[in-house]
């Protein structure tokens, strides 16, 4: 459910936002919403990379056995 949000921005940014939104035929609300969604997506990818990095070198002391060795 959409809610109203009031922002205080530099006048130059407001003018840019109006101009950009008009040129791209979108509302300023949509422009801001899309930007926040993109930021959230980037944060989620970084979190995944952190978890993946934690696994790096986990098999350094005892490497994963070859499939043939298990038979």
Residue 4 is assigned to a structural domain of this protein: no
Query: What is the full per-residue pLDDT of the chain (71 aa) written as tens digits?
Result: 889 999 999 999 999 999 999 999 999 999 999 999 998 888 777 766 777 767 766 666 776 677 777 77
Residue 6 is assigned to a structural domain of this protein: no
- What is the tally of structural domains in the chain? 1
Residue 53 is assigned to a structural domain of this protein: yes
When computed from its CA atoms, the radius of gyration of the chain, rounded to whole angstroms, is: 23
Residue 42 is assigned to a structural domain of this protein: yes
Domain with 25 in it: 11-61
Would the pTM count as exceeding 0.85? no
d(Cα 11, Cα 17) in Å, to the nearest integer?
Answer: 10
């Amino acid at each position: 459910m959409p809610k109203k949000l009031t922002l205080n921005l530099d006048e130059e940014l407001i003018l840019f936002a109006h101009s950009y939104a008009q040129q791209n035929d979108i509302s300023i609300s949509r422009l801001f919403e899309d930007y926040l969604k993109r930021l959230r997506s980037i944060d989620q990818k970084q979190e995944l990379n952190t978890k993946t990095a934690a696994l790096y070198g986990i098999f350094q002391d005892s490497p994963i056995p070859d499939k043939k060795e298990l038979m």
